[in-house]
Amino acid sequence: MAAARRPVLAANWKMYKTAAEAAQLARAVREGARDVLGAREVLLAPSFLSIAAVAEALRGSGIGLAGQNLHHEAEGAFTGEVSPVMLKDAGCTHVIIGHSERRQLFGETDEAVAKKARAALAHGLTPIVCVGETLAERESGRTMEVVERQTEKALRALSTDQVAAAVLAYEPVWAIGTGKVATAEQAEEVQAFIRKLVNRSHGQAAAAALRILYGGSVKPDNIGILMAQADIDGALVGGASLKADSFLQIVHYAAG
Ligand code: PGA
């Protein structure tokens, strides 16, 4: 990754852990990540019901707290939804948007993702916008087309400054939770392409500032080679973030 961009190591705990378990893991990460926090950004995304407990465990630590989703309205009659105002109030700094599980299992469209990204920024939350192709799309040679559509739609309505402050995550769907990590070259190829798209749509400064994470079966033994790529600025980690020791090994990666 380029030296000017601060690496981001983000844990996505998905629908795992009770509040007590999440708080315990957060305390372990806090303890173990203390030495890297100046140079690296560490984020935890627990389930909504664990956010309060994790916020308490992280207070004053410098570790960021992310929601895994949000509704784009500030409030309203939307049963079962959580608003950006509520996430902010609970102590969140970031929010994951358009994760492939949301897109695939819960029908989130590119339009919904765009609205959510705008809402997050409007309420002072940094969006982590996920894009990525399915196996069928990759095998039919449509990876770049899919990633281009998802990226452009998500970022279209954002200003240059907003894009510069945002985080994007390239997560090939076929690599999520499967143990099949994209090779560093495959990930770099797509991530360099994404940065070029952003250069075209929002200019060179925004493209240079935007952090682009890789996600999909990131583990302690592959993070180093991934982080050695010019356009990989961090990782969004699912399975390997559920245990303190493996996530802390990832946080302490040595690139190369
Ligand atoms: P994984 O999940 O690390 O378990 O593949 C990544 C993600 O879904 O963000």
Over its length of 256 residues, how does the chain's per-residue pLDDT go in tens digits? 665 899 999 999 999 999 999 999 999 999 999 999 989 999 999 999 999 999 999 999 999 999 999 999 999 999 999 999 999 999 999 999 999 999 999 999 999 999 999 999 999 999 999 999 999 999 999 999 999 999 999 999 999 999 999 999 999 999 988 888 889 999 999 999 999 999 999 999 999 999 999 999 999 999 999 999 999 999 999 999 999 999 999 999 998 8
- Look up tokens 């090939």; give the residue: 172
Which 8-state DSSP code applies to residue 229?
Answer: S
Global model pTM greater than 0.95: yes
Please give the distance, rounded to the nearest whole angstrom, from the Cα atom of residue 203 to the centre of ligand 1.
30
Structure tokens at 183: 């090779």
The closest residue, in CA terms, to atom 2 on ligand 1 is: 238
Ligand 1 atom nearest the C-alpha of 217 is 5
E strand or H helix at 236: strand 234-237
Distance CA 195, CA 197 (A): 5
Name the amino acid, one letter, at 70.
L
Instruction: Determine whether 99 is an active site residue.
Output: yes
Please give the distance, rounded to the nearest whole angstrom, from the Cα atom of residue 212 to the centre of ligand 1.
15
| Closest C-alpha to 232, from 167, 136, 156 | 167
Name the amino acid, one letter, at 142.
R
Instruction: Determine whether 94 is an active site residue.
Output: no
Selected catalytic residue, list 99, 101, 133, 188: 99
Please give the distance, rounded to the nearest whole angstrom, from the Cα atom of residue 32 to the centre of ligand 1.
21
- Look up tokens 């302690």; give the residue: 220
Distance CA 121, CA 111 (A): 16
Structure tokens at 52: 């309060």
Ligand 1 atom nearest the C-alpha of 218 is 3
Please name the residue ranges forming H helices in the chain.
19-33, 51-58, 84-89, 100-105, 110-122, 135-139, 143-155, 160-165, 184-202, 204-209, 223-227, 244-251
Please give the distance, rounded to the nearest whole angstrom, from the Cα atom of residue 237 to the centre of ligand 1.
5
Selected catalytic residue, list 94, 171, 188, 202: 171
Ligand 1 atom nearest the C-alpha of 130 is 9
